[in-house]
Amino acid sequence: MTVPVSGAVVVGYDASEPSKIAVEWAAADADRRGVDLVVVHAARRLKGRDDAGGDEGADAIAEEGAERARERVPGLTVHAVARKQGPAAALQELSADAAVVVVGHRGRGRLAAGLVGSVAFTISAHAQCPVLVIRGNSEHLPGPDRPVVVGTDDSEFAAQAVAGAARLAASTDARLIIAAAWDVPEANPWSAAYLANVNATEDAAHAAETEAVATVERAREAVLAEHPGLTVEVGTQRGRPEHVLADASEGAGVLVVGSRGHSDLVGLLLGSVSRAVLHTANCPVAVIR
């Protein structure tokens, strides 16, 4: 069958609790965007709950997810799709035309919808559209009481993440919080260089903090040029970026990161920082490319 994916929200579903939450979050997101929702159950061997095999059971699981979405958002156009292929491959294929792909942070069986290190990590790294990995519960949506938080390191990919986060904040009446982490290598107290200049580390820390402040201010100016009415807050903190962003995600509706970064300001490189926050964030994580 032809799947009406173009511009739709696509969500992976395997009947696990995290995938149920992902479907509800995706339904609300599709409603906000005014687009269709496509609920996908995928496994190389399609199975029903009794593991007896067969397409019928897989179709039923996909339809169950679709019905959950319809209950969450009555009137939403929802399509149920079962695919006889690996879940990462299925979602990656559908991402070519989707507005966003949504997965839970964990799953079960072959789908493992969003198990960090497998499906969620693979989709976050290779999808052709933004990816949302849902952590927490479905009530954690961006809005007036739950800001959108985005990390930046002044890279091209971070700029794309900031722009995407700003659009999301503007469309949900949420505040936008732009955060940057900074740090300096620890000096060896026994080295000759350290003994010769005990202020070297302090000077480097001051320079790193100054650059971080300049980075978030540049990002704020860029956002306000496009969204003059948006409430934008900025903050910097010393520490590893994954720790800083995880802390900033507390109480947020979504944490946004870029798919790549650079090391000039402790880069947001998928596989390190982005992968780390998929594990530790206190809210859904959006990976923007």
Ordered structural domains, the chain, with CATH: 9-134 (3.40.50.620), 148-288 (3.40.50.620)
In this predicted structure, what is the pLDDT of residue 121? Answer: 78
In this predicted structure, what is the pLDDT of residue 164? Answer: 94
What whole-number distance in Å separates Cα of residue 276 and Cα of residue 269? Answer: 10
In this predicted structure, what is the pLDDT of residue 227? Answer: 97
What whole-number distance in Å separates Cα of residue 102 and Cα of residue 104? Answer: 7
- Sites in the chain below the pLDDT cut of 70: 1-2, 45-55, 106-117, 136-140, 185-201, 260-271
Half-sphere exposure of 137 (CA within 13 A, CB side): 1
What is the CB neighbour count within 10 angstroms for residue 146? Answer: 18
Under 8 Å between Cβ of 223 and 230: yes
In this predicted structure, what is the pLDDT of residue 176? Answer: 98
- Tell me which residue has tokens 């995290």: 18
What whole-number distance in Å separates Cα of residue 181 and Cα of residue 273? Answer: 11
In this predicted structure, what is the pLDDT of residue 18? Answer: 86
Polymer length in residues for the chain: 289
In this predicted structure, what is the pLDDT of residue 265? Answer: 41
In this predicted structure, what is the pLDDT of residue 106? Answer: 62
Under 8 Å between Cβ of 198 and 169: no
Task: Tell me the residue ranges of DSSP E strands in 64-207.
Answer: 78-83, 100-104, 131-134, 148-151, 176-182
What whole-number distance in Å separates Cα of residue 150 and Cα of residue 145? Answer: 16
Question: What tokens appear for 145 in the block?
Answer: 């009481």
C-alpha distances out from residue 12 to 28, 44, 78, 100, Å: 15, 14, 13, 11
Under 8 Å between Cβ of 87 and 113: yes
- Tell me which residue has tokens 């970026």: 241
C-alpha distances out from residue 57 to 3, 65, 116, 259, Å: 19, 13, 26, 36
What whole-number distance in Å separates Cα of residue 189 and Cα of residue 184? Answer: 14
DSSP string of 192-244?
Answer: HHHHH-TTHHHHHHHHHHHHHHHHHHHHHHHHHHH-TT--EEEEEEES-HHHH
- For the chain, the first-to-last Cα distance in angstroms comes to 29
